[in-house]
Amino acid sequence: MQQASFRKMWLSSLLKRVLKAMRPPKPASQAANYETWRNNFMQSRLHLGLWVALIFFLTFTALELRNLWFKPAQFKEEWLITQIIVESCLLFCLALFRLPVGRRHPTLVFLILSWSVTIGPQLRSSFNGHFEPSLLVWPLMFFGQATLMPVRWGLHLISQLGVLFYCVVAVAFLGLKVKMPAVWLTPSAMILYMFWICFICNLSVYLYERLQRAEFKARRDLEAAYCQLQSEQERSEKLLLNILPETIAIRLKKEHQTIAESFAEVSVLFADIVGFTEISSQVSPRELVKLLNEIFSAFDHLAEEHGLEKIKTIGDAYMVVAGLPVQREDHAAAIADMALDMQQALAKINSQTSQNFRIRIGIATGPVVAGVIGIKKFIYDLWGDTVNMASRMESQGIAGRIQVTRATYECLKKEYIFEERGLVAVKGKGEMSTYLLVGKGR
């Protein structure tokens, strides 16, 4: 039992080693054009062809060895020697294929393989003073080449002409006697037979390579179109994410219904540039848009840094919220840090542009309803009393200060510094206690 298990493991290990040895060397780079692809294809198929030819001759070597041991009358020593010589040439090709020169010049390996199989066995009969065309090996080799390596029909023609050249040299210059493989086969019939075999092989390679070239071009065009489509999709995704929160954008693509959600507690911030209308009358439209873009871009970076969701800009007003669409417990602290950083960012812009911009900021905390409205130029927007209160805190605030509602103050009073402003008449609410955020506590 143990011996059978060991034998099975040994055979499995041997098979893995053989398959690993038969793997072609990896190409140096991906095929960027047809010529590169064809060269990689030829290397892969040529490596396979070498192993097929080697196994082919090894089977006949095994047959001769069987004859030597069991049927000595049928054993032919010169055949065994010829086969060993051809196998040595094939092993040389496999070794050459592993070297840089073989990978750079697969055509050289191809020709050595072809002539080793077709001309190599003829050397035996040449030494005996006669020339014997191979009715079996030549057609098998030419058809095998055309099947395994259907590229570069001109290279196939060169390998065939090499065999023809050997025939001419053997008969015309060396004066070898022609010995036909069969009594009924005449030299003229043999020439015509080999001509049509070579013609069919070369024609099939030529037609197949035309098909390969067209297929490669179609595949590259398809890949280019897919890459362009993917690029456009990524661009569309990026534009969509600039309009909507990521989670809402994903839902909007999957759902074909109104998106609306209630949030129990968030913090909303409104900011407005004081006196921007007067400033706009003193600068050119291009300069005005440039300044506004610089300010709001700085605010956008801060919103991203603090993990907040920018809702919209209206003129010179900026709206941002903390605590949605993904809820967070520190929404009030995040929005307070955003407000304080907005003041510092604006001060930095003033020093760079020699302007004197000031902003009013209002913050409110409480429940809101959020969702997407419209079918064209849609936006993610907020509704509710908390939104109105944040707007009132800004519009009725003090230039350069941050005014918050009592609810926001209660959330932050332990960690931030406030000044009590007192009662403020809020439109639609009457008098309310409000507070001014000064900074972060120690």
What is the SS3 assignment for 103-128? HHCHHHHHHHHHHHHHCCCHHHHHHC
Give me the DSSP letters along 260-275.
EEEEEEEEEEEEEETT
**What b/e sequence results for 120-157 when a residue is b if at least 16 CB atoms lie within 10 Å of its CB, and e otherwise?**
bbbebbbeeeebbbbeebbbbbbebbbebbbbbbebbb
User: Rounded CA gap, 40 and 24, in Å?
Assistant: 10
Q: What is the CA radius of gyration of the chain?
A: 42
328, two tokens: 């967070």
Would you please indicate which residues are annotated as catalytic (active-site) residues? Answer: 272-273, 316
| CA 29 distance to own-chain centroid | 14
286, two tokens: 């291009």
- 304 class by beta-carbon count within 10 Å (0-12 exposed, 13-18 middle, 19+ buried): exposed
Long-range contacts of 324-331 (CB under 8 A, 24+ apart): 324/261, 324/263, 324/266, 324/368, 324/370, 325/245, 325/247, 325/248, 325/261, 325/370, 326/247, 327/263, 327/266, 331/265, 331/266, 331/267, 331/365
Angle at 265 between CA 400 and CA 385, to 5 degrees: 65
- Map tokens 């291009």 to a residue: 286
* Amino acid sitting at position 321: V
